[in-house]
Amino acid sequence: MSGLSDGTFREFAALMHAAVGLSFNDSKKALVSSRLTPRLRRLEIEDFDAYLALIAGDPQGEEFQTAVDLLTTNETYFFREPAHYELLQRELLAERPRTLAVWSAAASFGDEAYSTAMLLADLQQQGSIGADWTILGTDISDRVLRSACAAVYPQERLRDVTPQRLKRYCLRGEGESEGLVQMHPKLSERVRFGQLNLCQPIETIGPFDVVFLRNVLIYFDAETKRAVVDRVLTQLRPGGLFFTGTAEGRVSCATPLQALAPGAFRKALAA
């Protein structure tokens, strides 16, 4: 199979940027090649030009979605960046809200949404928040959303979940399902998932009290990052909490934010 040429890579990058906002500069050529080469071999496609023609012909199709999945799916696990959950807990203990709506805007396989659900269920049980809380998880990938809806995870992904929470909220697989964990219905009934492209206009799905937009901005260029952040923040109520990945740097946006900690912000109250 022939390699990925510079010209084909740039055409591929332009297609991904136009369709879903993903940004691949020249330094990402090796990454794109390494992630897509096994797919081409599986499909018995001889070169990247032919694969580009295949996905460009149907940007809404299944194979295009597969390419997006291969290029954007990274490691995810429960309670990633635990300082954010600690800050969220402190804020909720201080506010003691009776209702709460949370949005996991780049939900991937649902680890983040269910981590948050465990925390909120604990706080509800303690009487620190009301019983009226919900979590929405969205992602551009239909494949990862199907997995999130199934709510079944390799046990390794829950390595940072306390034994107490594992006992309360997880069902361990047996026999052929050994090594897998399923979320308890008392969590999954609180969490719903839906497909959403952050680079397109967002209908009114909020307002939310908490929004997670973590570890997705790395895929966008500076202009797209600003547009995505401001678009997402229209769904967060004034005074609400906003979380980004701590490795993603300072958030650049027009919406006024108060920095609370690395990757943690409060949306300014309306004047």
199-223 pLDDT, tens digit each: 999 989 999 999 999 989 988 989 9
Position 86: which residue type? E
Which one is the CATH code of 82-267: 3.40.50.720, 3.40.50.150, 1.20.120.10, 1.10.3720.10?
3.40.50.150
Cα(49)–Cα(52) distance, rounded to whole angstroms? 5
Laid out side by side, the sheet with 152-154 consists of 152-154, 180-183, 170-172
- What residues contact 270, with CB distance under 8 A and at least 6 apart? 238
How much is the pLDDT for 243?
Answer: 98
Indicate the pairing of strand 152-154 with strand 180-183: antiparallel
CA 114 to chain centre: 12
Express as a percent the part of the chain with pLDDT over 70. Answer: 98
Task: Please tell me which residue in 35, 39, 143, 192 is annotated as part of the active site.
Answer: 35
Q: Across residues 5-28, what is the average pLDDT?
A: 91
How much is the pLDDT for 1?
Answer: 60
How much is the pLDDT for 248?
Answer: 84
Q: How confident is the model at residue 58 (pLDDT cuts 50, 70, 90)?
A: confident
- Considering all CA atoms of the chain, what is the largest pairwise distance in Å, rounded to the nearest integer? 62
Q: Across residues 172-178, what is the average pLDDT?
A: 90
Q: Range(s) for CATH 1.10.155.10 in the chain?
A: 6-72
Express as a percent the part of the chain with pLDDT over 90. Answer: 78
Phi-psi region for residue 96, left (φ > 0), alpha (ψ -120 to 50) or beta? left
221 is catalytic: no
Q: Range(s) for CATH 3.40.50.150 in the chain?
A: 82-267
How much is the pLDDT for 271?
Answer: 56
Cα(61)–Cα(72) distance, rounded to whole angstroms? 17
Q: How confident is the model at residue 245 (pLDDT cuts 50, 70, 90)?
A: very high
Task: Please tell me which residue in 80, 111, 139, 214 is annotated as part of the active site.
Answer: 139
Q: How many residues does the chain have?
A: 271
Cα(268)–Cα(271) distance, rounded to whole angstroms? 9
6-72 has which fold? Chemotaxis Receptor Methyltransferase Cher; domain 1 (1.10.155)
> Looking at the predicted structure, is the pLDDT value of residue 252 above 90?
no
How much is the pLDDT for 167?
Answer: 96
35 is catalytic: yes
Q: What is the pTM of this model?
A: 0.86
Q: pLDDT tens-digit profile of 130-150?
A: 999 999 999 988 888 999 999
Q: Which two tokens stand for residue 210?
A: 């908490």
Cα(141)–Cα(207) distance, rounded to whole angstroms? 23
> Looking at the predicted structure, is the pLDDT value of residue 45 above 80?
yes
CB 207 within 8 Å of CB 241 = no
